[in-house]
A and B are shown apart, each in its own frame.
Chain A
Amino acid sequence: MDFMHFDFSLLFSWEILFAIVLGTLYGLLIGSLPGLGSTVGIALLLPVTYSMSPVAAIIMLAAVYQAGEYGGSISSIVLGVPGTPSATATVLDGSPMAKQGKPGEALGYSITGALIGGGIGAIILLTLSIPLSTLAIRFSDPEFFLLGVLGLVCVAGLSSKDLPKSIISVLLGLMLGMVGLDVATGSARFTFGSYALMDGISMVALLIGMFAVAEVFSMLGQSSDKKIVTDTKNLKTKITWQQFKGVRKTYIKSSFIGGFVGILPGLGAGPASWFAYTEAKRTAKNPENFGKGEPNGIAAPESANNAAVGGALVPLTTLGIPGSPATAVILGAFLIHGITPGPNVFENQPDLVYSIFWGFFIATIAMYFIGKYTTPLFSSMLKMPTFMLSPIILFIAIMGVYASRINLFDVWIAVVVGVAAYILKKLDFSLPSIILAFILGPIIETSLRRSLLISGGNVEIFFTRTYSLVILMIIVLLIAMLILQSVKKRKSNPPKNVQA
């Protein structure tokens, strides 16, 4: 229990406290601006850390990462536009709850989830770093392929309205994810001669198009002077003890899901939040309430994506493997300060490692208090009438797309995707399914091809490894449950009058 024999006075210096507060405020801002996520935020702040001590620098960047994940939910809830890809699942229930005039309550569920998820992530980091990273490195391409498939099965089952359209949405997302240079061979795929498409379709452009542009079109259908929030009391970011009790199990379960998925390199907070959301819906007493402002639908993704932050720091600190783009930038900060993360750093510099871990824990608590008192400023936007709010959302979202890669082509993509998404949404296709398939597609394809390369084309590689088998069994179980639910639903609502 080395982490308990730590000299806490090392953390209570003005420099470190300043780093936590600055990192948290900056992370909240950058996360809440659609398009800019934690990775961009950390990269932009990296030069500021050159003159700081290594511990303060890393803690500040970890605080940005943590607060950025929560910040993403502010935009998801208040504007209906995910601030970060990992906050996409939060839109599904956060935005409807805000539209019911309760943005403060929705943000309360979110920030409490961020605190619990972040706290559990930090505890995982402090206590289980070494055993979990050992487990994570046993996960290889066959397991990543199957985890990706598991994610797709989960998300395809999310839409209970029209399963074939939900599956089509998944396939469409996979197809969009194939655009660009093929990683294995360097072939240009579906770029149609455009250099701008060589890097693939920008995730931010896709997100903003689907959620911001399409959301503005939906808002235009409402009365121009309609205000979402009329009572200032509803802006306070808080939930009552009774409300907390209703979602506490979801918080805990989702935090562990997020923490574990975060540890696996390449997956990160986005898939973690979707896995948690699906699990919360699957085990809920009233799954039909999901998508209509269900508290568990906010609690699950928000605790999972913040727990994934702590999880993502596990392979980084213990093995020196950055599991996500954000941790890759943090690895850069480690190296700039002359620290090479990995097993040796635990032996040679335990104080440094545990300073970072405990600092991360304190940053999570700081995020809760700073977030609680600053988010009402964001949610007060909902007091504006629709005719003011919709151009603001549209314009800031477009700027977010541009700023993410300083590329106007991405803005064009967002416009086209926005129009297409509005039509697809009207026709009951599932936009979240498209997004998750877009995220998971490249992981699935690369892992499948690598697995078959390792096995010389033998598909037995997916059935003969212990971890693969466990994931495969979960997939089969989920599919069986989906079919069973569908049959039950059909039996309870038999078609009355079938006609063309």
Chain B
Amino acid sequence: MSYRLATYLSLLFLVGLGGLFIYTSLQFNEGAGGQVIGPAFFPQLVSGLLIVMCIISAFTTWRKEKTSEDTLTIPQLKYILFTIAALVIFVALWDLFGLFYLFAFLFLFSLFYVYNRTDSKKKRILKAVGLSIAIGLFIYLVFEKLLNVII
């Protein structure tokens, strides 16, 4: 995707967000608490400014010189997408079933195994298992035992 197009899309999203904030703030109770300015004033001011700045930014992007660096590159996109998917599945499973250490082991194992692009399959499995157990142990000792964080 081109950098310009991605910028326009992001600015469009932000304009939408600003609009949503303004629309939502119209429903705030302005008369509450005897305030000179109510809870809606600041959100409306900031959201309004955001929309104005997005328009200015779109204009400056449009005016900018076209260069060869106009392409937005995301190296190793498949690894990023894998990480997002693994993260979402891990947090969802932890949220739904508890069993933190089991899901944490599976999550870490999958990351260590997939990210390791150099070793043989056997070595990758061994390293992933060892590292996942070590990190789990570290979390248990530092967070649960030392800092009394209930996981």
Contacts and interface: CB of A to CB of B under 8 A. Distances in A.
A457 interface: yes
Interface string B14-48: 10011001001100110011111111001100110
B90 to A, nearest CB: 8
A162 to B, nearest CB: 8
Interface in A160-179: 162, 164-165, 167-168, 171-172, 174-175, 178
B148 interface: yes
B118 to A, nearest CB: 5
B29 to A, nearest CB: 6
A445 B40 CA distance: 11
A495 B53 contact: no
Given A168-B54, A185-B38, A497 B150 contact: no
A388 B117 CA distance: 11
B112 A175 contact: no
A406 B7 contact: no
B37 A448 contact: yes
B62 A500 contact: yes
A496 B67 CA distance: 11
Nearest to A495: B65
Given A44-B147, A402-B151, A171 B32 contact: no
A494 B85 CA distance: 45
Contact of A220 (B24, B37, B66, B79): B79
B39 A217 contact: no
A415 B47 contact: no
A445 B107 CA distance: 41
Size bracket, chain B contacts: 35 or more
A172 B60 CA distance: 19
B69 to A, nearest CB: 11
Contacts, number: 176
A456 B36 contact: yes
B3 A427 contact: yes
B143 A167 contact: no
Nearest to B43: A178
Given A190-B43, A224-B118, A499-B65, A415 B87 contact: yes
Given A408-B94, A419-B84, A403 B36 contact: no
A449 B35 contact: yes
Contacts of B149: 402-403, 406
Given A36-B147, A221-B76, A403-B149, A171 B83 contact: no
A403 B139 CA distance: 11
B91 interface: yes
Contacts of A496: 65
Contacts of A386: 115
Interface string A129-170: 000000000000000000000000000000000101101100
A457 B36 contact: yes
A423 B1 CA distance: 12
B139 to A, nearest CB: 6
B6 interface: yes
Contact of A391 (B49, B76, B108): B108
Contacts of B34: 453
Interface string A77-119: 0000000000000000000000000000000000000000000
A185 B39 contact: yes
A182 interface: yes
Contacts of B76: 220-221
B137 to A, nearest CB: 12
Interface in B68-127: 72, 74-76, 79-80, 83-84, 87-88, 91, 94-95, 104, 107-108, 111-112, 115-118, 127
B128 to A, nearest CB: 9
A244 interface: no
A220 B83 contact: yes
Nearest to A221: B75
B35 A395 contact: no
A216 B83 contact: yes
- Among B21, B38, B53, B151: residue with most chain A CB under 10 A: B53
Given A175-B17, A391-B112, A168 B33 contact: no
Contact of B10 (A30, A33, A423, A445): A423
B50 A184 contact: no
B36 A452 contact: yes
A387 B57 CA distance: 37
Interface string A459-500: 000000000000000000000000000000000000111111
B57 A224 contact: no
Nearest to B25: A189
A394 B111 contact: yes
A168 B35 contact: no
A319 interface: no
- Among A164, A186, A423: residue with most chain B CB under 10 A: A164
B21 to A, nearest CB: 6
Contact of A390 (B54, B84, B115): B115
B65 to A, nearest CB: 6
A238 B7 CA distance: 42
Nearest to B20: A190
5 contacts: A36-B147, A171-B50, A178-B43, A391-B115, A449-B37
Q: Which 6 A/B pairs are nearest by Cβ-Cβ distance?
A: A221-B75, A387-B115, A391-B111, A164-B57, A185-B32, A182-B39
Given A187-B28, A415-B87, 14 more contacts: A44-B147, A162-B57, A168-B53, A174-B42, A175-B21, A189-B28, A190-B43, A224-B118, A225-B118, A395-B108, A395-B135, A426-B72, A427-B3, A495-B65
